[in-house]
Structure 1
Amino acid sequence: MSLPAIVSREEWLSARVQLLAREKELTRQLDALNADRRRLPMVRMDKDYRFDGPQGTVRLRDMFGDSRQLVLQHVMFDPAWEDACPGCTGGLDEVNDGLLRHLAARQTAFVAVSRAPLAKLQNYADRRGWTFPWYSSGGSDFNYDFGVTLDPAVAPIHHNYRDEHELRASSQSHLADGGVHELSGMSCFLRDGDEVFHTYSTFGRGTEQIGGTYGFLDMTALGRQEDWEEPKGRNETVLPPAPFFEDVAPSPTRVSAVEILSKSAPCC
């Protein structure tokens, strides 16, 4: 087993400071990238997709509830399978009630969608102890249109912004072998009244860094909704730069985190 070199505290500190400079540079680059993501144009969702949920048939608009944004996870679950993809399962195990509350506090709903029938989704969710909304897209074009189910007998194949020709020439040439493939990803939608718009999708390793509330919000058009973000004017209400999401009413002995942060210098 190869372990890091053993050095003095001074040598370690020197190396750590050098790495810190690179980390800060990457943080600024990510800030700029996230701002450019929020500046992406959007596409009106004109097709009337229908999904099966615990309360019956729903449309994409219904998945928002009262939220302005929707983060939708494309979960690999073929109708013939009894279990969802192990990789998708690992990620969904981390979608807890706290994350859902924090997203909701920033006007954002979370759902999962798979092609397997609702009964299988509910059975698997019960076995895993999941409580987030999970809908079946079976019987609709949704998975095919978003490139997360590939079946040339149903629709021209495309995935991760590559068509069949580009897939054949890539390291994912197996996706163009003529078979049926289930794939994962994340898509984000924005609601203006009852109109729904597609703002962003990412696939493959693009989903690796998504974790915790900020990771989800950074994919969306409204972002973290904090006062330092660009572009300005995107949100009617902005917050100080801090991961504070609870909407608990303050008690006489509780000082609001927002109040504390408003008097503090920004970090980093």
Structure 2
Amino acid sequence: MNETVNTQQGERPPILAAETLHKSFRTGSASVPVLTGIDVVFREGVCYTIQGVSGSGKTTLLHLLAGLEDPDTGQILYRNQDISRFSRKRLAAWRGRAIGLVFQAYHLLPELTALENVNLPAMLFGQRDPKPGWELLEAVGMTHRWQHRPWELSGGEQQRVAIARALRNDPEILMADEPTGNLDEETGLEVIDLLLDLQKSRGKTLVLATHDPRLAQKGDQQLVLTGGKLERVDPTSAASVPISGPPKHSLESRLEPESKTYL
């Protein structure tokens, strides 16, 4: 399905889109391509999973989408606005309010309590009311640990605090990079279920990168990053997604290269 990011008159533009993204890194004198022409559009309130092996470029793609890195070529569009045209100050403010980030390594500040870590994003914008942070700790089941610092919490507890922190500024988009990578299987599944429940109940767009195919299957829309390109899993078995054309039956045909993935 090939569609541009242009919208019809009166239609709300996509919340986030990437157009012809290329990104390479230098290793010595060599340039190593990581992303080689990514085109994708994200809709509001949908959970997208991006599956790929270690080193496939999942983290790089999330960093580009969040404005943490610049592409070599291509554009990131937020509601049809090219974020590369934002000033550094405006970009940081946009990211702080529109994007909630969940990392594999949690990235909680060790000197702060759980509640202080949750409220930190709001404090950066001059908001000091602790009540919203408390309510988020309640939502992730961590009010009983509000005074504890990260080193006093288990991995699963730290990730719950990190999820609450990501939601603190009520962002439109959540981005999670291997959020279960440091957790055991049981705890990881609990964290993913919590993240998905919060995403659905609060109407957020979620972009979740994982190497685990079981977690990838939990997405409303499932993407695979391979060879620097995004491919979409053909949802022939997903009744909630309309299918155009005859169904494909072979396993190999479930992956379709996208020149423009519009989901």
Whether TM exceeds 0.5 here: the answer is: no
- The TM-score with structure 1 as length reference comes to 0.25
- The TM-score with structure 2 as length reference comes to 0.25
Q: Bigger relative contact order, structure 1 or 2, given CA contacts below 8 A and separation 6+?
A: 2
Structure possessing the higher radius of gyration over alpha carbons = 1
